[in-house]
Amino acid sequence: MIPKVWDERYYLFDQEEIMRYEDAGRYHKEKFFDEKIKYKEALEYYDKFIDEVAKLLRQLGYSSGLECANMISYLIKNGFLSINHILEENGIPDKKEINYRLGTSIVRGSSNYRNYVNMFNDICNAINLETDRLYCYAGNPKDGLDKEANYAINLVPHDLNVYGFDAYCGNRVFKFDSSFVLVNINQKETNYLLYKPYLEIDLGERKFREVIRKINSFDFLSKRPAINYEEYEKNIKNFVENKMDSYYPDLCDFYEDTMKLKKRIIRKINTKQR
């Protein structure tokens, strides 16, 4: 169930609805715990693999959050983190998806936006880059007030600000226009995202009061100057792509060196799902 209007008044005053979502959050936490136990060995190998990705990023070097974000996106999109060096992006959920660690589907070579967002977050945690997931409705904010979340992106710190980063769809960057609305920094593209905090409560990621603090922080960020798109494209996006292309032989070595880990992850998942 979703409220008729998504705005600050709902989050501040509709306590009955909040309690329903927090009950759902407790259910999901229990479900994630069960998966953590069931796939214990697979997830241990997955964590080791993520640590190897973190080591690679440190070796390559990066000077900012958005630069690192583009590097992670490059590795995922070009199949370096997948078993067959190929990543299918058909938007269909992997049949062997593990909700507790959705990034494992990337290793299997299957992906949708949820897998991207979660592996991205796992890698950032491993390198101590403070990021987060943001659940949202992709579309016109006026049309999305009564719609459920249909998309997710990552939040990335950069130059005293925080941006929405969409690795799944072309490394788009969004700035906060208000507590709930994000706007593409590329003015030639009229893309909007409407933040849907209810899902964080529903999935057990945050309590109501934590969501309120998050909403307030987004309002603060909306008043900060944002990076210029031309600057981002030239100095970060294109720079990273050229940089990663130059390291292509080394990335291929990384792909081969981590093959055993990738195979172990997949084998352990398959064993538990027979």
pLDDT tens string 117-146? 999 999 999 999 999 999 999 987 677 667
* 11 vs 179: CA distance, rounded Å: 12
pLDDT tens string 164-222? 999 999 999 999 998 889 999 998 887 889 998 888 887 777 788 888 888 889 999 99
Residue ranges covered by each domain of the chain: 8-272
pLDDT tens string 246-263? 999 999 999 999 999 999
Whether residue 9 is predicted with pLDDT greater than 60 in this model: the reply is: no
Residue written as token pair 């987060």: 132
Whether residue 223 is predicted with pLDDT greater than 90 in this model: the reply is: yes
In this structure, are residues 265 and 46 in contact, taking their beta carbons and an 8 Å threshold?
Answer: yes
Portion of the chain with pLDDT greater than 70, in percent: 87
